[in-house]
Amino acid sequence: MTAGTSWENNAWSPQCGDLQIAGMSIPTTEIRTAIGDALQWRYATKVFDANRSIESTTWASLEDSLVQSPSSYGLQPWKFLVITNKALMAELRAHSWDQSQITDCSHLLVMLAERTIGTAEADRLIDCMAATRGVEPESLAFYRDMIEKDLIKGPRSQTIGQWASNQVYIALGTFMAAAALLGVDTCPIEGFSPAEYDQILKLESSPYRSCVVCAAGYRDGSDKYARLAKVRYPASELIEHL
C-alpha cells in the first residue's frame, strides 16, 4: 500500500481471501510468495552504497510502518528520529564502534523508548483513543485502570524500562519486514553508546532515551555478506505444534 492510501477501500476479501487494493485483487498466494522471498532476500547489510538514497515515497511508506506498529496496550512508548544529516551521522559513528553503516546508509533511524510510563502517558492514550473512536474518555476508564494497575502501580512498574524497550523492538521488526518488502536494505545496530547518543541528540532531559538503531538504504555490490547463504535452524527445531 502506498503512502496516503486509506484502508477503507483496501481490505481482505472474505469470499476469496485476496487483498483488494484500488479495485485490483492480489491473490494470497502471490502475497505469501512475496513475503517469503523478501525475508529470504534481506540480511543485516554490512556495506551500504553511499551514493544511493531511498526515494521519498518509499521512505514515507516505511515511516507509516513505524506509526502502524503494534505495542502493548497500544501505548506506543516510543519516538523515532530520522537522520540524513551526514555531519550528524559522522558524529554518531564515533560512538557506534566506527561502523560504516552509520554514515553510508541513506537514512539512519534512531529508535527511542520512553523513560517512564505514568498517569500522563495513560491519559494521553485514553484521550487519543476516545477522539479516534468517537467515545467519551470516561467510557474507557476500565482500560485506563488496567494500565495503571499493571504498568504504573503494578510489579511491572519496577522494570518499565525493559518493557518499553521490548515495545520498541516490535516496531524495529515491523520496520525491517516492511523495508524488505519494498526492496530496502537494513541493518539493526545495538553496537553504540546510548549515553553518547542521548547527549549528541539532546535527549538527556527529554522523556525519551536511545534504545536501538537501524540503518536503511541499499547494499553495495562489494558487500560479501549479501552473497553468503542465510544460516537458519530448521523450522522443525524452532517451531513446535501442540
Q: Does residue 57 sit in helix, strand or coil? A: helix
Q: Is residue 13 part of a domain?
A: yes
Can you tell me the distance from the alpha carbon of 221 to that of 88, in angstroms, rounded to the nearest whole number? 26
Q: What sign for the dihedral angle of Cα 13, 19, 23, 26?
A: negative
Length of the chain: 242
111, amino acid identity? M
Task: Give yes or no: residues 98 and 194 share one domain.
Answer: yes
Could you give the C-alpha distances from 12 to 26, 29, 31, in angstroms and in order?
10, 13, 12
Residues 159 and 111 in one domain: yes
Would 104 be classed as within a structural domain? yes
**Which residues, other chains included, contact 117 with Cβ-Cβ below 8 Å and sequence gap of 6+?**
75, 77, 147, 151, 152, 157, 160, 163, 164
Same domain, 94 and 56: yes
> In terms of domains, do 66 and 86 share one?
yes
Sort residue 169 into left (φ over 0), alpha (ψ -120 to 50) or beta.
Answer: alpha
Distance from C-alpha of 213 to C-alpha of 216, rounded to nearest angstrom: 10
Cell digits of residue 58: 518509499
96 plus 158 within the same structural domain: yes
Co-location of 48 and 36 in the same domain: no
134: in domain: no
**What's the domain range around 8?**
1-41
**Within a domain: residue 228?**
yes
In a domain, 130, yes or no: no
Instruction: Assess whether 177 and 203 both reside in one domain.
Output: yes
**Residue 7, beta-bridge partner list:** none
The reported pLDDT for the residue numbered 22 is 62
Given a cut of 50, the residues of the chain with pLDDT beneath it are 1-9, 12-15
Structural Rg of the chain based on CA atoms: 20
Are 109 and 194 within one domain? yes
For the chain, the domain total comes to 2
pLDDT at 26: 78
Which cell numbers hold the place of 79? 519516538
- What pLDDT score was predicted for residue 230? 96
pLDDT per position as a tens digit, 181-226: 999 999 999 999 999 999 999 999 999 999 999 999 999 999 999 9
How far apart (Å, rounded) are the C-alpha atoms in residues 197 and 21?
41
Do 108 and 159 have their domain in common?
A: yes
**Phi and psi torsions of 43, nearest 5°:** -160, 170
Helices (H), 42-93: 56-67, 86-93
Is residue 89 assigned to a domain?
yes
Residue 208 near residue 115 (C-beta atoms within 8 A): yes
The verdict on residue 231 lying in a domain is yes
- The H or E element that residue 177 is part of is helix 160-181
133 in a structural domain = no
What is residue 21's predicted lDDT score, i.e. its pLDDT? 63
Judge if 109 and 94 occupy the same domain. yes
For the segment 134-155, what is each residue's pLDDT rounded down to a tens digit?
Answer: 999 999 999 999 999 999 999 9
DSSP annotation of 148 reads: I
Measured between alpha carbons, how far apart are the two ends of the chain, in Å? 35
Q: Which phi and psi (to 5°) does residue 129 adopt?
A: -65, -45
Exposed (0-12), middle (13-18) or buried (19+): which is 62, by Cβ within 10 Å? Answer: buried
Name the nearest CA neighbour of 185 among 194, 176, 193: 176
